[in-house]
Amino acid sequence: MKARMIVDKSFRIAQVDKRIYGSFIEHLGRAVYGGIYEPGHETADAGGFRSDVKELIKELNVPIIRYPGGNFVSGYNWEDGVGPVTERPKRLELAWRTLEPNEVGTNEFISWAKEVGSEVMMAVNLGTRGIDAARNLLEYTNHPGGTYWSDLRRSHGYEQPHKIKTWCLGNEMDGPWQIGHKTSAEYGRLALETAKAMRLVDPAIELVSCGSSSTGMPTFPEWEAATLDHTYEAVDYISLHQYYGNRDNDTANYLALTLDMDHFIHTVKSTCDYIKAKKRSKKTMYLSFDEWNVWYHSNDADRQIDPWSVAPPQLEDVYNFEDAILVGSMLITFLRHADRVKMACLAQLVNVIAPIMTENGGRAWKQTIFYPYLHVSKYGRGVSLLPIVDSPKYDSKDFTDVPYLDSAVVHNEADEEITIFAVNRHLEEALDLECDVRSFEGYRLIEHIVMEHDDLKAVNTASEETVKPHNRGEAKLDSGHVTARLAKASWNVIRLKKA
Ligand code: AHR
């Protein structure tokens, strides 16, 4: 099987906003307690945060981390998580039915995020709370001083304002499971009024309005149209969330799910542009895909967990090799929409549907999906180029004309590097790729990284990393043409650099 591609330096989609390599930490399961924070762990720092986990996050170079939820935020009183730790209340956490000790809160998280090199994307509670709690939190984090809330922050030991730039106006407010779930009219009005008040506190912030929780929601995409009718001029982004799973064990169909994701992005873009036209607006709405991943392996186990314990092992999906391929394809999809998708958060980062896992009191280790995320975060910075792809195709249960080759290309102008990210979706055959890169003169091949495995269901564990990349791929660059054999069911990263 053969596939062809043309990559030209003038086929620019857009500069990649590095925040598409963001992630997410929610007060859920062992993400915070037992994940990033475990006082008493042999690697814990003075504040109780695990250094082994910090190192893995630094390796991923995560530019922005969403916090503190998720469904959690819709029942959260942020005031519970600031001030002397010994005086903080322990609460029933209703979204995930656990106990929240509030040992980690806003200030600890922001300081930790700084240490791992990330900005914070902060969400406010528009479920049980509203304008007042949101504007007070913003005054607490961002106002320099001389007011009740900013002086309270200073009295808690944080003299300088945190200057949090990006704020989510609630979480998944279209979902009936959400505490304080709202109709589109209720949410649209509340989000607009909260946005107005927050911008009065700090005009430098950026705001994300809640879009649909998935393409499967019965209110999608009317929710987007109806809420943006209220919020269009007051916000900068609308959110998208999507999780996939291979529940029927149909891998050909599973690996085609990025066609659904692509369609999702197109639909949200079009809906935003419809409201833009309706309002005769000059402003373009950008997309924040602030929850995305594979999530299904842990569903049954989660139903067995008894309520009201601190940090139970919830949503601990163990990812296999085929999940890593789909995650790579999802990242490719963001790159091809770099003109509109400006932020995206792999949900989540540690233990909870995560690339990084920990043992309580023990090791930290890398799941299979760690690697495509690492590669794209590392090599996917620059200008996203539109590859012209001619690939054989297949039909699956839910999709027709699925190209076996899925690809995105990034040109890092500063470092004079080009990276081709490519998935071969064929489960039995290798794909011979020929890629015309003649517009890039004087380049040489640096390496061809490959993730391949005979067993699509192979997983990593704390003691054995069976699924990991190697750089023995045999791509060649000759007379402006890259040729490479892409192994069956594989993730590939082909790197070129000006000689
Ligand atoms: O990431 C896990 C959960 O998925 C989040 O809390 C929620 O927003 C979504 O439904």
- pLDDT tens for 103-162 read 999 999 999 999 999 999 999 999 999 999 999 999 999 999 999 999 999 999 999 999
Which token pair is 272? 């935003």
End-to-end CA distance of the chain: 31
**Angle (CA) 233 237 243, round 5°:** 145
What distance in angstroms lies between residue 12's CA and the mean position of ligand 1's atoms? 34
Please give the DSSP secondary-structure letter assigned to residue 284. Answer: P
pLDDT greater at residue 499 or residue 484:
484
Cβ(77)–Cβ(133) below 8 Å: yes
User: Left, alpha or beta for 211 (phi > 0: left; psi -120 to 50: alpha)?
Assistant: beta
Q: What is the CA radius of gyration of the chain?
A: 23
* Cis peptide preceding 68, ω within 30 of 0: yes
- 172 catalytic? Reply is yes
3-state helix, strand, coil in the chain (%, to 5): 30, 25, 45
DSSP-derived secondary structure for 140-182: HHH--SSSHHHHHHHHTT--S-----EEEESS-TT-TTSTT--
- Options 172, 224, 417, 452, the catalytic residue: 172
- Band (304; pLDDT cuts 50, 70, 90): very high
Average of per-residue pLDDT values in the chain: 98
Residue in 93, 119, 139, 291 annotated catalytic: 291
Nearest CA to ligand 1 atom 1: 347
In sequence order, the 6+-apart residues with CB closer than 8 A to the CB of 81 are 68, 88, 102, 104, 105, 106
User: Which ligand 1 atom lies nearest to the CA of residue 69?
Assistant: 6
For ligand 1, atom 5, the nearest C-alpha belongs to: 70
Instruction: Give me the residues paired with residue 344 across strands.
Output: 289
170 lines ligand 1 (CB under 6 A): no
Burial class of residue 148 in the structure, from the number of CB atoms within 10 Å of its CB (0-12 exposed, 13-18 middle, 19+ buried): exposed
Q: Give distance in angstroms: CA of 321 to centre of ligand 1.
A: 23
* Any atom of ligand 1 within 6 Å of the Cβ of 348: yes
* Phi–psi pair at 410, nearest 5 degrees: -125, 135
Atom of ligand 1 nearest to the CA of 177: 10
The domain made up of 18-379 has a fold known as TIM Barrel (3.20.20)
2-9+385-498: in CATH 3.40.50.920: no
Tens of pLDDT, residue by residue over 326-381, are 999 999 999 999 999 999 999 999 999 999 999 999 999 999 999 999 999 999 99
Sequence letter at residue 92: L
**Closest atom, ligand 1, to C-alpha of 95:** 6
Pocket test residue of 32, 168, 241, 292 for ligand 1, highest count of atoms within 8 A of CB = 241
Q: Where in the chain is the domain with CATH 3.20.20.80?
A: 18-379
174 lines ligand 1 (CB under 6 A): no
CA of 308 to the centre of ligand 1 (A): 19
Residues 283, 339: Cα–Cα separation, whole Å: 14
* Among protein residues, the one whose CA lies closest to atom 9 of ligand 1: 70
Return the exposure string of 156-174: e unless at least 16 CB atoms fall within 10 Å of the residue's CB, then b: eebeebbebebbbbbbbbb
Is 171 near ligand 1, meaning CB less than 6 Å away? yes
Task: Say what the pLDDT of residue 97 is.
Answer: 98
Query: Which residue is listed with tokens 């949503």?
Result: 315
Q: What does the alpha-carbon distance between residue 290 and residue 207 come to, in Å, rounded to a whole number?
A: 13
Q: Can you point out the beta strands (E) in 250-404?
A: 286-294, 341-347, 356-358, 364-366, 383-385, 388-390, 393-394, 402-403
Q: Say if residues 235 and 124 touch (Cβ distance below 8 Å).
A: no
- Is residue 304 classed as helix, strand or coil in its secondary structure? coil
Q: Residues 309-329: pLDDT tens digits?
A: 999 999 999 999 999 999 999
CA nearest ligand 1 atom 3, residue: 70
In which residue ranges of the chain is CATH 2.60.40.1180 found?
Answer: 2-9+385-498
- Cα–Cα distance measured from residue 335 to residue 11, given in angstroms and rounded to the nearest whole number: 13
> What's the mean pLDDT in 186-200?
98
Does residue 68's CB lie within 6 angstroms of at least one atom of ligand 1?
A: no
Q: Tell me the β-bridge partners of 207.
A: 167
User: pTM of the full predicted structure?
Assistant: 0.98
Do residues 137 and 120 make contact, with C-beta atoms less than 8 angstroms apart?
no
pLDDT digits (tens, 9 = 90+) for 379-436: 999 999 999 999 999 999 999 999 999 999 999 999 999 999 999 999 999 999 999 9
